């Protein structure tokens, strides 16, 4: 097991060097070969794992994460957007359960503040932060973790999502 590194919290993109530990069955992922959004299943997870451990030939990844966007939040996950002039950010609120996502300077953050007491090298204090959400799979994980809301997409949903969402790949 890899040791926790605060840099991975500050810069979460670093944790996406491998994908097999990021995706679960039922997550949405981009299939570069078909140029379409796909639903993660055992076959896809196996292909990702084989590729990352060096078992599959070729240098290109066949699958990749989907960047979170306003389009995903509003069209697929049914969030309502409202811009706040006082804070200078857009607040997306879920119609299903009230979860909030904040968009500041083009980045998405969970609408919760985490406070942590710290004691490092004789320095005592506290740290406050909102976790950044980079990808659709992370949003799905937070929805389940915080609201116990799981999304179960079927083939019809997948076709509708592919028609609604534009992915550059």
Q: What is the pTM of this model?
A: 0.85
- Note the pLDDT tens digit of each residue in 152-168: 999 999 999 999 998 76
Structure-block tokens of residue 27 = 């997550």
Quote the DSSP letter at residue 95: T
pLDDT in tens, 99-131: 999 999 999 999 999 888 888 778 888 888 899
Residue extents of the structural domains in the chain: 6-164
- For the range 44-50, what are the long-range contacts, defined as Cβ-Cβ under 8 Å and sequence gap of 24 or more? 45/20, 48/19, 48/20, 48/23, 49/20
């Amino acid at each position: 097991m890899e040791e926790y590194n605060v840099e991975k919290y500050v810069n979460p993109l670093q944790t996406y060097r491998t994908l097999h530990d990021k995706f679960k069955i039922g997550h949405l992922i981009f299939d570069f070969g078909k140029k379409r959004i796909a639903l993660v299943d055992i076959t896809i997870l196996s292909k990702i794992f084989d590729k990352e451990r060096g078992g599959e030939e070729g240098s290109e990844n066949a699958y990749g994460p989907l960047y979170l966007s306003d389009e995903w939040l509003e069209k697929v996950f049914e969030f309502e957007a409202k811009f706040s002039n006082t804070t200078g950010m857009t607040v997306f609120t879920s119609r299903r359960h009230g979860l909030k996502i904040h968009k500041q300077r083009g980045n998405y953050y969970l609408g919760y503040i985490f406070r942590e007491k710290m004691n490092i090298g004789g320095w005592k204090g506290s740290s406050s932060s909102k976790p950044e959400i980079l990808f659709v799979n992370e949003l799905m994980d937070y929805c389940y973790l915080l609201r116990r809301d799981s999304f179960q997409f079927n083939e019809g949903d997948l076709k509708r999502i592919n028609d609604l969402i534009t992915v550059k790949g």
